Amino acid sequence: MTATPTSVTLLSQADCSLCEHAKQVLARVAAEHPLQVIEIDLASAAGHELALTGRVLFAPGVFLDGEVFSHGRLSERKLRRALAARQPSPPQFERKP
């Protein structure tokens, strides 16, 4: 059974070292979790609108399945925890004697 990919939107801008860091984190995490990453430039109309609606104060902004996850330096640990929490738990079987 293949897990459904988590939609990740990365709101970035040019010459942004934290944006590059976020891309590296997402690449590492994507090796273990199914992610569908879309990058949107903060300077674009869509990026500006997304920043306003998500109240992202500065790049990079990260959205998971359309919900604001973080802005600024992306924590790999926090992202891994959030993705693990989104995975369904395996079924539990009760053993009867």
pLDDT digits (tens, 9 = 90+) for 10-27: 999 999 999 999 999 999
Span 28-55, average pLDDT: 94
- Tell me how many domains the chain contains: 1
Residue 70 CA from chain centroid, whole number: 8
**pLDDT tens per residue across span 61-76:** 999 999 999 999 999 9
Q: Cα(5)–Cα(33) distance, rounded to whole angstroms? A: 8
**Does residue 11 fall inside a structural domain?**
yes
Domain housing 69: 6-86
pTM of the model: 0.83
Q: Is residue 95 part of a domain?
A: no
Whether residue 5 is predicted with pLDDT greater than 50 in this model: the reply is yes
Which CATH number belongs to the domain containing residue 18 in this structure?
Answer: 3.40.30.10
Q: What is the DSSP string of 22-85?
A: HHHHHHHHHTTS-EEEEEEETTSHHHHHHHHHHT--SS-EEEETTEEEEESSPPHHHHHHHHHH
User: Do the beta carbons of residue 9 and residue 63 sit within 8 Å?
Assistant: yes
